[in-house]
């Protein structure tokens, strides 16, 4: 079995795709649930929408941390 080594740039790109794709999926799910809640009056969709909003909040926090970490590592690489 061959081992694949990745550079920090590739690792950052993979992590970015993961949290950003997760964020986009959550927003799409939120749109669906809010349409059910506001458009069709389904009360349980309101609870689901609130859960999704909490998940989006956590994803945004993760994204901010990822960006900050990447930014700091860029500074370290350019300082050398």
pLDDT in tens, 26-52: 999 999 999 999 999 999 999 999 999
Distance CA 30, CA 67 (A): 24
Q: What single-letter DSSP state applies at residue 37?
A: I
Q: Give the model's confidence band at 74: pLDDT under 50 very low, under 70 low, under 90 confident, else very high.
A: confident
Asked if residue 29 is part of any domain, the answer here is: yes
- Global pTM value: 0.76
The stretch 51-64 carries a mean pLDDT of: 95
Asked if residue 35 is part of any domain, the answer here is: yes
Asked if residue 5 is part of any domain, the answer here is: no
Provide the number of structural domains found in the chain: 1
Asked if residue 1 is part of any domain, the answer here is: no
Which residues constitute the domain of residue 26?
Answer: 14-79
Contact at 8 Å (CB) between 53 and 30?
yes
Q: How far is CA 32 from the centre of its chain?
A: 18
């Amino acid at each position: 079995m061959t081992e694949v080594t990745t550079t920090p740039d590739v690792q950052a790109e993979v992590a970015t795709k993961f949290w950003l794709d997760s964020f986009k999926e959550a927003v799409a799910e939120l749109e669906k649930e809010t349409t059910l809640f506001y458009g069709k009056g389904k009360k349980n969709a309101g609870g689901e929408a609130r859960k999704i909003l909490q998940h989006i909040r956590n994803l945004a926090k993760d994204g901010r941390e990822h960006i900050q970490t990447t930014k700091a590592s860029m500074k370290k690489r350019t300082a050398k």
